[in-house]
Structure 1
Amino acid sequence: MGDILVGACSWTDRQLVASGWYPRGRRDPEGRLRHYATRLPVVEVDSTYYALPSRRNSELWVERTPDGFRFDVKAFSLLTGHPTRQQALPADLRNRPVDGALLDEVWGRFAEAVEPLRRAGRLGAVLFQFPPRFAPGAVAERALEDCARRTAGWPLAVEFRHPAWWAAERAEDTRALLSSLGAAAVGVDMAQGLTGSLPRVVPVTRPAPAVVRFHGRSGAWGRGSKEDRFRHDYDVTELAAWVPRLRRAARQTEELHVLFNNCCADAAVRAAETMRGLLTRPCR
């Protein structure tokens, strides 16, 4: 069975910092990360979606974490086709048309920034979360092929938001496509019965890593404020129901990342620590 690493989708979220989870004296940038790494073995860097990361930050993250710790890095919004504010780009790239030359430059800077993590063995996965309008079809498949080409040698993970990708009649084709591209399919837990709900599956498509993201079960998914969309406290029954599924997935991969994205106050880190406890109990 592969290792199962459980963590949260941020260690810098303002509500988490204000929640009291970090002890006194450990609430500065260095102290937060060092403390987090003593409690959980993997974290997702979500700030890289909102702005291009810097190489220097990656170097600092390596210095502040132990061997074996993993960072899953979320791809910059422009690289996944999301609307991107000019202010999110470096100053010298602003006010340029979004064309092939700009995309090439952004891809290059993103790769340069995450290289210290990859070189140090800290890079767990690079997460490409595509928008809800990214529906199955020839255009999407070409975009995925381009993404796989540009990320050759990276631990690529792909999360779809359009539910058609994992509809029963298409799921096997989606699995085969991602497998052929060397990409990990990201499984999700979210509220069911909504227009954009995805099924609770863990489709393992590459040896490592496999990724499952827990978004919470708010009925406000896809609308409202961030707090409305992600406000959910997982109870132990909800988490325990996932344990057999996660263990089955871990038997198919070398490393499974389980990440909690219900980032309201300390809900995500508490759920992660509870899930770690459940997964360490002996199998019945």
Structure 2
Amino acid sequence: MIRVGLAGWGDHDSLYKAGTAAKIKLSRYGDHFPFVEMDSSFYAVQPPDRMARYAEETPEDFRFVVKAYQGMTGHLRGKPYYANDEEMYAAFRDSLEPLIRSGKLWAALFQYPPWFDCSKPNVKLLRETKRRMEGFPCALEFRHQSWYEPEFRERTMAFMREEGWIHSVCDEPQAGIGSIPIVLEASRPDFTLVRFHGRNAGGWNHSGEANWREVRYLYDYSDAELEEWAERVRELLASTSEVGIVFNNNSGGHAAGNAKSFMRKLGLPVPKFPDSDIPTQLDLFHM
């Protein structure tokens, strides 16, 4: 099974009719895509009652990938919100419980920063994190190239398999040590995550600029690039039963359109955009 979705549901204006209230956007999002990556959880652990509401507002077969809180992955700068790690992880697990009960949690995504390199202390930290998250499906994504260098690549994948991590395969710019290559391997037979970050190599490492987040994910995938990835996803399905594809390249508003184009290439049903004749006309050429 293949599910295609987007990172977040609030900022994709092409999915909603003009004037759509923020509080109903998730339910409208579910008319277009069968799963979403929740990124608000990276900035703050979401209250369980809010997560329960999200589960209620989405179709029965909808799925969530929930990004782990920044304090758990080494991104946090400033004063910690939680008194200790035990309290922080307990809050995150409690937040995920409503999605677990509803059968809608696909994975909690632990994305580590570019300075999180392949080292013994970091391997130890990953083991401890997996232990703290026992009972919850967890995906693992790196941003430091060392994990996939020739001398470590097979050991990295073997470690994921042994610990039960879901592999997050990335398409991103090849822009030095703070980016990783495409590693088309499944670490578990039940699920593999694929995340499209765009290929804006010039903007990938400019984290010191005020608008670096907008620049980093500014990219529009070409038809040829999506076609190439359609073949890769089919290849992945030989070793994993489910694949989730997240388009995270929304700085220029390209994610939703790229995702729907990709769905067509995979032969998946593609709901039309509201209030626009352009996607409808494009559909005539993709039947």
1:137-179, Cα deviation, whole Å (9 max, x unpaired): 2101110110110111111100011101112232110000010
User: Does residue 153 of the first structure (1) align with residue 153 of the second (2)?
Assistant: no
Work out which of the residue numbers 93, 101, 106 in structure 2 matches 1:124: 106
Greater relative contact order, per chain length (Cα 8 Å cut-off, separation 6+)? 1
> TM-score, with normalisation over the residues of structure 2?
0.87
Q: 2:66: which partner in 1?
A: 73
* Residue type of the alignment partner of 1:226: R
Matched length: 263
RMSD across aligned positions (CA): 1.6
Match of 2:20 among 7, 15, 26: 26
Q: Which runs of 5+ in 2 are unaligned?
A: 269-287
For residue 235 of structure 1, what is the aligned residue in structure 2? Answer: 222
One-letter amino acid matched to 1:73: V
* Aligned twin of 2:285: none
- Partner-residue secondary structure (3-state), 1:242: helix
Are the aligned partners of 1:46 and 1:73 in contact in 2 as well (CA < 8 Å)?
yes
Task: Name the amino acid aligned to 2:150.
Answer: A
What is the 5 A alignment of 1:47-126? 47-86=40-79, 89=81, 93=82, 96=83, 102-126=84-108
Fraction of identical pairs, as percent? 35
Q: Tell whether 2:174 aligns with 1:180.
A: no
1:16-47 CA-partner distances (Å, limit 9, x unpaired): 34xx43113533222x1111111111110011
Contact 1:202 1:212 in 2 (8 A): no
Q: Distance in 2 between matches of 1:208 and 1:150?
A: 21
Gaps of 5+ in 1: 97-101
TM-score, length-scaled by structure 1: 0.88
Any conservation in 2 of the 1:186–1:203 contact (CA below 8 Å)?
no
User: Which deviations, in whole Å up to 9, do the C-alpha atoms of 1:237-275 show, x marking residues without a partner?
Assistant: 111111111111122112111101112243111111111
- Matched residue SS, 2:204: coil
Asked whether the 8 Å contact 2:37–2:246 carries over to 1, the reply is yes
CA distance in 1, matches of 2:122, 2:238: 30
1:217 aligns with 2:199: yes
Which residue pairs with 1:6 in the alignment? 4
2:104 partner amino acid: R
CA displacement 1:86-145 (0-9 Å, x = unmatched): 4x83xxx4xx5xxxxx11001101110110001101101100001111111210111011
